[in-house]
Amino acid sequence: MTRNGRTPSVAVFGAGVMGVGITALVVGRGLPVTLVDVDQARLETARKRVRDELRMAHMMGALPRRGPAGELSLAGSAVAAADATWAIEAITEDAELKAKVHREIAAAVAPGTPRITNTSSIPVDELAGQVPAPVDLVGVHFMNPPYLIGTLEVIRGPRTGERAMSAVRDLLTALDRKGIVVGDGPGFVTSRVLHRMINDAANVVAEGRATVEDVDALMEGCLGHPTGPLRTADLIGIDNLVDSLTVLYERTGDEGCRPSELLLRKVADGDHGRKTGRGFYEYGTR
C-alpha cells in the first residue's frame, strides 16, 4: 500500500491507554507508527504496553497473527511526525490541551495532512476554531480496546474538508474498520447516549436500589447490553468517563450528565477501572 509514492505511516499523539491501544491496532495491521508523548516515563513503558495489547489481540483473534507488523518508533516531540500520512491525537479529554497539541501537529506535518482527534465528547468545531487549517481536522472516536471494536464513530465538523474525510476512509480501510459518519455536537452519538446511561446506573447504585452486579445483570439479560454499563465504565476508565460527562454537562446543561457523586468518589480514590485494577469491579494485574 502506498500513498503519493511513499509507504503510509501514522503518528499517534499520547501514550496513555487510548494512544497505546490505537498504536497496537495500527501496528497490528502492518502500518508503521510514531508514538509521541512529552512524558518520558510513559514513553519508557509504551513499547511493552503495545506488545501486551498485541498479545491480547492475537489471543482473542482480533488481529492477524501472520503478516508483517508495523514498525514502532517513540518520540518526545511533534517534529518526529513530520512525514506522517495521518496524525491521530489521543490525549486526555481537555479542549485546551487538545487544541495545543493540534497546533503543534499542524506546525510539524505537511499541509493537507489529515489531523484526527480521538475525542469522545468535545465538538470538533470547538477545536477547529482554535487551530490552523480546520479543513484538515476530523473526529474519529476509537473505543477501548481499539483492536476489539470494529466500528468507529467518525465526526465531520462544519469546517472539515472532503479531502480529510477521504483520507480517513483510506485509514479505516487499512485498519479493517467500519466508520459511521455522524454530525458534530457534544458527545456526538455514542457518548451522548452511553455516558448518560452509565451515570444513571451509578446513581441507582448510590441510592441503594441495586448492587453493581445486579444493575449489569439486568441490563445484559433484559436489554441485551453486552457487558453491562458499570463493567463498561471500568473498561472506558472512570476518570475518562468523568471527563467526558463534565464536557457534556458544561456544553448541554443536561443534569443527567452531571457526574455522579459515586463516579467522582471513585476517581478521587484512584479506582479508575481495569487500568488501575479496581473500579466497580476488581481485576487481577496483567
Query: Given pLDDT bands bounded at 50, 70 and 90, which one contains residue 16?
Result: very high
Render pLDDT for 41-73 as a digit per residue (tens, 0 to 9).
999 999 999 999 999 999 999 998 887 789 999
Indicate if 194 and 78 belong to the same structural domain: no
SS3 59: helix
Indicate if 178 and 207 belong to the same structural domain: no
Proportion of the chain above pLDDT 90, given as a percent: 94
| Domain-embedded: residue 4 | no
Indicate if 163 and 128 belong to the same structural domain: yes
Indicate if 110 and 244 belong to the same structural domain: no
| Domain-embedded: residue 280 | no
- For the cut 70, the answer to whether the pLDDT of residue 285 exceeds it is no
Indicate if 178 and 201 belong to the same structural domain: no
Q: How many Å apart are CA 77 and CA 276, to the nearest integer? A: 27
- For the cut 90, the answer to whether the pLDDT of residue 30 exceeds it is yes
Q: How many Å apart are CA 216 and CA 205, to the nearest integer? A: 11
Render pLDDT for 69-94 as a digit per residue (tens, 0 to 9).
899 999 999 999 999 999 999 999 99
The pTM assigned to this predicted structure is 0.91
Among candidate residues 165, 183, 201, the one where a domain is terminated: 183
Domain that holds residue 51: 10-183
Indicate if 72 and 98 belong to the same structural domain: yes
CA-only gyration radius of the chain, Å? 19
Q: Give the DSSP letter string of 197-263.
A: HHHHHHHHHHTTSS-HHHHHHHHHHHH--SS-HHHHHHHH-HHHHHHHHHHHHHHH--GGGSPPHHH
Query: Given pLDDT bands bounded at 50, 70 and 90, which one contains residue 34?
Result: very high
Indicate if 16 and 140 belong to the same structural domain: yes
pLDDT value, residue 68: 78
Residue 285 grid cell: 494485574
Q: How many Å apart are CA 254 and CA 199, to the nearest integer? A: 12
- For the cut 90, the answer to whether the pLDDT of residue 2 exceeds it is no
Q: How many Å apart are CA 264 and CA 201, to the nearest integer? A: 14
6-19 mean pLDDT:
93
Indicate if 19 and 144 belong to the same structural domain: yes
Count of domains for the chain:
2
Indicate if 21 and 106 belong to the same structural domain: yes
pLDDT value, residue 167: 98
Indicate if 28 and 135 belong to the same structural domain: yes
| Domain-embedded: residue 53 | yes
Indicate if 89 and 202 belong to the same structural domain: no
| Domain-embedded: residue 136 | yes
| Domain-embedded: residue 281 | no
Nearest to residue 146, comparing CAs of 12, 8, 271?
Answer: 12
| Domain-embedded: residue 282 | no
Query: Given pLDDT bands bounded at 50, 70 and 90, which one contains residue 263?
Result: very high
CATH number of the domain where residue 265 is located: 1.10.1040.10
- For the cut 80, the answer to whether the pLDDT of residue 4 exceeds it is no
| Domain-embedded: residue 284 | no
Render pLDDT for 212-239 as a digit per residue (tens, 0 to 9).
999 999 999 999 999 999 999 999 999 9
Among candidate residues 183, 203, 231, the one where a domain is terminated: 183
pLDDT value, residue 5: 54
Among candidate residues 157, 183, 209, the one where a domain is terminated: 183
Which residue type sits at 255? Answer: E
